[in-house]
Structure 1
């Protein structure tokens, strides 16, 4: 990062902000936590970031060792961006920041939720029930098109989220991002069904997923 934009302090917090403190940097990290993405996919997830700003952040993060560029083999043969091992170490920091900020209500203009952000909500706030068996789901958020397809595996300790859906899931859910977020923490599927969700397979697995995602701010502002 150019020296003129740095804090010029030896403090670890200042040094960290020198690396990821520029606008869009941490959101780029957020979008890569579930796996690599092409530049166009990052643009879709960060629609108000200009192409130049996004290119600058990716270049700076790559120079700092947080992100790397990789060419996928044929037949894909496209360039993607992914987090390095060191870059993945930012996940608990990004999650903690997001959880802390939940205590502040969103403004009227803070409406857009990227698909990876919605699915990271599952990974962050799912509260497992140890006695329940492992189950897999295919989740499709239809307002995001092909980018909205994910696989979720519920275990006795966590919810694993990936861009690749399982071949034979126990259940499948097709809905919208807003409907999914609104359903989290509820103990039935009434809201989802009313919102034109499509559920296939074991509906109890879907109920378990949405009911056990309990979004809790880390602190009370008051």
Structure 2
């Protein structure tokens, strides 16, 4: 297969065009997206990026490493396990991913009913996160999120949301005991709530421990209330 020529080889000195040379190959930004919240093994990336084959994934990782976007290292828990993670420069692509998400949400062809990986859904919530002016003190909310695309559901991934009057943040981390509430659910159920008005306190696929009003606060801080004209929000399941 002939290697694709770069835009620079056509005497195009635009930095945006060069950015496409770096991460514009098919699957490249999707692989980057799945690394934005932390390192993953090759098999994890295969599971999270549905549709990509091992040969293409290998090629994309090699390209991204060569371009300085991704780096690899041995896992501290297994000498035979290799982890892929974004370089500090590669981490700055979250700004690009957020901008693309905010722009594409106005597309009439956006597949609202399609599922997401756990990290992708959390990144979507991060992209729309806003302050909670009604809170006098910051509160922490835990999330145990399993991938609805895979059956049976794999072990859930843990995240923590910190909500405050100054802003809201979501990170991928173990859930501390200081959280005021914890939500355990799958990506399809949470996406329905983030995109609409689903009541998770009554949903059969959602379990809440602690203060349920904290879950309502989390959804209020990250919900996309209006998908735009001519589009409807997906229903549950």
TM bracket (short chain): 0.7 to 0.9
Q: When the two structures are superposed, what TM-score results if normalisation uses the length of structure 1?
A: 0.86
In proportion to residue count, which structure has more helix? 1
Residue 42 (str. 1) matches residue 45 (str. 2): yes
Change (3 A) 1:24 1:147: farther
| 2:22 corresponding residue in structure 1 | 19
Q: Is the 8 A contact 1:35 1:162 kept in 2?
A: no
- In the alignment, structure 1 segments of 5+ residues that lack a partner are none
| 1:82 corresponding residue in structure 2 | 85
Q: Is the 8 A contact 1:100 1:218 kept in 2?
A: no
Q: Partners of 2:227 and 2:6 in 1: how far apart?
A: 30
Higher mean displacement: 53-62 or 112-121: 112-121
Q: Is the 8 A contact 1:103 1:217 kept in 2?
A: no
Distance apart, 1:211 and its partner CA: 1.7
DSSP-derived class of the 1:146 partner: coil
- Aligned residue pair count: 219
Q: Partners of 1:192 and 1:150 in 2: how far apart?
A: 19
Match of residue 184, structure 2, among 170, 174, 179? 174
Distance apart, 1:127 and its partner CA: 1.6
Distance apart, 1:185 and its partner CA: 6.3
Match of residue 102, structure 1, among 92, 101, 105? 105
Q: Partners of 1:106 and 1:192 in 2: how far apart?
A: 31
| 2:144 corresponding residue in structure 1 | 140
| 1:128 corresponding residue in structure 2 | 131
Q: Partners of 1:156 and 1:145 in 2: how far apart?
A: 35
Q: Partners of 1:51 and 1:98 in 2: how far apart?
A: 26
Q: Is the 8 A contact 2:196 2:225 kept in 1?
A: no
Q: Partners of 2:166 and 2:46 in 1: how far apart?
A: 33
Change (3 A) 1:164 1:18: same
DSSP-derived class of the 2:38 partner: coil
Distance apart, 1:92 and its partner CA: 0.9
Task: Provide, for residues 44-83 of structure 1, a one-character-per-residue CA deviation record: whole Å limited to 9, x for no partner.
Answer: 1111011111111111000000000011223686311111
| 1:208 corresponding residue in structure 2 | 217
Distance apart, 1:126 and its partner CA: 1.7
Task: Provide, for residues 126-162 of structure 1, a one-character-per-residue CA deviation record: whole Å limited to 9, x for no partner.
Answer: 2211351211122112335225322222233333222
Q: When the two structures are superposed, what TM-score results if normalisation uses the length of structure 2?
A: 0.81
Change (3 A) 1:104 1:186: closer
Q: Partners of 1:88 and 1:4 in 2: how far apart?
A: 25
Q: Partners of 1:74 and 1:185 in 2: how far apart?
A: 38
